[in-house]
Chain A
Amino acid sequence: MSDTAKSGPVLAADGTPLKRSLARALRMQKMRALMLIAPLLIFVLVTFILPIADMLFRSVENQIVSDTLPRTVVALEDWDATSGETPGEAVFKAMAADLQEAAAAKIHTRVGSRLNYETPGISSLFRKAGRKVKKWDVEGDGPFKEMFLEVDDGWGDPDVWRTIQTYSPRLTNGYFLNAADMQKGPDGPEMRPENERIYWVLFQRTLFMSLVITASCILLGYPVAWILANLPSRTANLLMILVLLPFWTSLLVRTSAWKVMLQQQGVINDTLVWLGLVADDARLVMINNQFGTIVAMTHILLPFMILPMYSVMQTINPSYLRAAKSLGATNWTAFWRVYFPQSVPGIGAGSILVFILAIGYYITPELVGGTKGVFISNRIAFHISSSLNWGLAAALGTILLVVVLILYWAYDKIVGIDNVKLG
């Protein structure tokens, strides 16, 4: 005690400062703990974090133009895209040299399709020119401008060269502009014409429908969770199996079942017609539109709402309700003022779960959504597997990720993330 006051730092038995020997002792413990979780950590890193990072990078990556057409990119630097004129002979000469190399390596079509995302038609220009350029003598022949125009008039279009110039930097915001229904105009980014805007509508629809689905899940799930939490445990377990049953059935089967239910010759329409509520020639359209998607997805995501609600409600001691009643509250007041506020964390957890699942859902909208009920994720899937425009798909995915994070942040501000409990 006394030597602490005199000599400052406390020493351990072997004379090292206590702080350092404590840190050393703790470091050993930490290392050991880290080694235990290392396999999982590496697994998560490799399979989850890295792909996301790769996706984020792909949404701005654009090395292909400057890698494949290095000379052209340099030559185009002094060309004024706003002049409305085709670039000079030097640029065409550089292009001929670049293309010859690229064609030899058989990569000229790749850069063509990349630029085709931005200005349709470029792909075929590159393909044709690539075939011819192999026979040219880059040093001796010329003038290359005429030779290119001979191959295809398209090479004389300043728009083609503007596209090449615009996409020559190694990083681009082009995918993001595309994803936001914008394009690069001569004087910077501008909105696309009204009739070409598709993503904005899709994002809006995705958010709106996810919210509707979340709300329907709350409305349908809350009473179920309440009953489950208040029944004797034997009955509750039995009912719980019914809630979990959908999990054990294939997603495709469940979605197809809704097709059977909702189509115009389906069970519900037949019943309504039989009851005389709907005329036979005016059967309701309930599938291949937003309604169908909302119904099917609410059904599929409902367990994700019920489970967290149930586990939170189970922890609410029934004596709170009794206390409220003994203090003079009616059943409704006791529920609304005492029970409901305590169940909010369950609603919060369920909502986040359902909303985030819904916003990225893909199979069900694809099957029952028609054209009006598809989500942004269906568009992403299209770009990944059909149009092969991975950059655009990555940009759309990134925007989706950012939107979810913003909503999560807003939720934290409004409700408080501590107010989320899974049990």
Chain B
Amino acid sequence: MANKTSNDAFVEFERVQKSYDGETLVVKDLNLTMPKGEFLTMLGPSGSGKTTCLMMLAGFETATHGDIRLDGVSINNIPPHKRGIGMVFQNYALFPHMTIAENLSFPLEVRKMGKSEREEKVKRALDMVEMGSFGGRRPAQLSGGQQQRVALARALVFEPELVLMDEPLGALDKQLREKMQFEITHLAHELGITTVYVTHDQTEALTMSDRVAVFDDGRIQQLAPPDELYEQPQNSFVAQFIGENNTLEGVIKDIKDGRALVQLDGGELIDCKPINVSKPGERTRVSIRPERVEYNKDRLQEGVHTLKAEVLEFIYMGDIFRTRLRVAGNEDFIIKTRNAPDQVRLQPGQQIEIGWLPDDCRALDA
């Protein structure tokens, strides 16, 4: 990544490490390149170092090692207020002693902008987030969603090229969240802003981003567009973390022609696609998405291995059916089927046979 040319890289992390206490590395060897205009989401469990990365980019934490570049210029020694990066904080951080309009006017004032120009820009920014009539209020007089929008407007009003958002929707209810997700992506693309967005909500990450960086243990586990991330997880952490996932454990028996034969711990054999396993005898964790499991014998490919399963629970969820099975000793094996007119509703206790396309079943590291 480091050898990529700088002209299409707007934000670059090169071999960045960060330690707070000199004993443990919170960020271990981070490499990341973002082109201009990209909407990139950092997704990962709590404590995986997302906020830390954002703070290093914004200038509130210094990297212990490595180089961070913005538009080709190393920013390690540039103080935060000179970086020109817009930031939306998790708690919004709207100044409580200023009105909404004063909050938005603040970044323009410190840039010594004239009064009429300021008012013009503040008004435009507020209109952009549909908060035009709230300029005279204090932050405490707004609802959570309104505060969120003002925080967004404030981060954008001075027209930064890069905007960082740290879990900006964490405090909102589901409905408002979905609305705001749409509004944020819409605005970011419309204004052509490069955005780094932090969340630990995977739905949010999948629906909003151009690319998602999955963080764990201070490293990027996979950096890919949402569909690729979901359909082609590169390791078992990503497979587990993104979406619902069934796992079965076993040992590689044979690998050839892009197919792996896996013997599960119960002795059954299945066909998989090898991802990060290389040789027979290795332990593996096999991952299958619930919606890719098939139990209708007519639709199964010929010659593939099938598994016996017992239905434990059938849950009606409206648009889909969710069925819990016991498969190869795993009692949490889930399958999802669409609620179509000809769909069979399985009964608890029923014995069935399940299978899948070998390409949908990925053999990952154990």
Residues in chain A within 8 A of chain B (CB atoms): 317, 319-320, 322-331, 333-334, 337-338, 341-342
Of B60, B86, B87, B95, the residue contacting A338 (CB under 8 A) is B95
Q: How far is the CB of A317 from chain B (nearest CB, A)?
A: 7
Of B82, B83, B85, B93, the residue contacting A319 (CB under 8 A) is B93
Q: Is the Cβ of B89 less than 8 Å from the Cβ of A319?
A: yes
Q: Is the Cβ of A328 less than 8 Å from the Cβ of B93?
A: no
Which of chain B's residues have a CB closer than 8 A to the CB of A330? 81, 110
Q: Is the Cβ of B97 less than 8 Å from the Cβ of A326?
A: no
Q: Is the Cβ of B158 less than 8 Å from the Cβ of A328?
A: yes
Of A317, A331, A341, the residue contacting B93 (CB under 8 A) is A317
Q: Is B107 engaged at the interface, CB distance under 8 Å to the other chain? A: yes
Which of chain B's residues have a CB closer than 8 A to the CB of A337? 106
Which of A320, A326, A328, A331 has the largest number of chain B CB atoms within 10 A?
A326
11 contacts between A and B (CB under 8 A): A319-B91, A319-B93, A322-B58, A322-B93, A326-B86, A326-B155, A328-B81, A328-B84, A329-B110, A333-B110, A342-B96
For A340, give the chain B residue with the smallest CB separation.
Answer: B97
With A322-B60, A322-B80, A342-B96 in contact, do A328 and B91 touch (Cβ < 8 Å)? no
Which of chain A's residues have a CB closer than 8 A to the CB of B58? 322, 326
Chain B interface residue count: which class?
A: 20 to 34
Of A319, A325, A341, A342, the residue contacting B80 (CB under 8 A) is A325
For A326, give the chain B residue with the smallest CB separation.
Answer: B87
For A338, give the chain B residue with the smallest CB separation.
Answer: B95
Residues in chain B within 8 A of chain A (CB atoms): 58-60, 79-87, 89, 91, 93, 95-97, 106-107, 110-111, 154-155, 158
With A342-B96, A342-B97 in contact, do A328 and B111 touch (Cβ < 8 Å)? yes
Q: How far is the CB of B185 from chain A (nearest CB, A)?
A: 21
For A419, give the chain B residue with the smallest CB separation.
Answer: B97
A323, B59: Cα distance in complex, Å: 11
Q: Is the Cβ of A320 less than 8 Å from the Cβ of B95?
A: yes
Of B80, B91, B96, B111, the residue contacting A326 (CB under 8 A) is B80
Using A323-B87, A325-B79, A325-B80 as known contacts, list a sample of 17 further A-B pairs with CB atoms less than 8 Å apart, ordered by residue number in A. A319-B93, A320-B95, A322-B93, A325-B59, A326-B80, A326-B83, A326-B87, A327-B86, A327-B154, A328-B84, A328-B111, A329-B81, A329-B106, A330-B81, A330-B110, A342-B95, A342-B97
Which of chain A's residues have a CB closer than 8 A to the CB of B87? 322-323, 326
Q: How far is the CB of A234 from chain B (nearest CB, A)?
A: 14
Q: Is the Cβ of B110 less than 8 Å from the Cβ of A327?
A: yes
Q: How far is the CB of B88 from chain A (nearest CB, A)?
A: 9
Which of chain B's residues have a CB closer than 8 A to the CB of A333? 110
A333, B79: Cα distance in complex, Å: 14
Q: How far is the CB of A199 from chain B (nearest CB, A)?
A: 42
A325, B55: Cα distance in complex, Å: 12
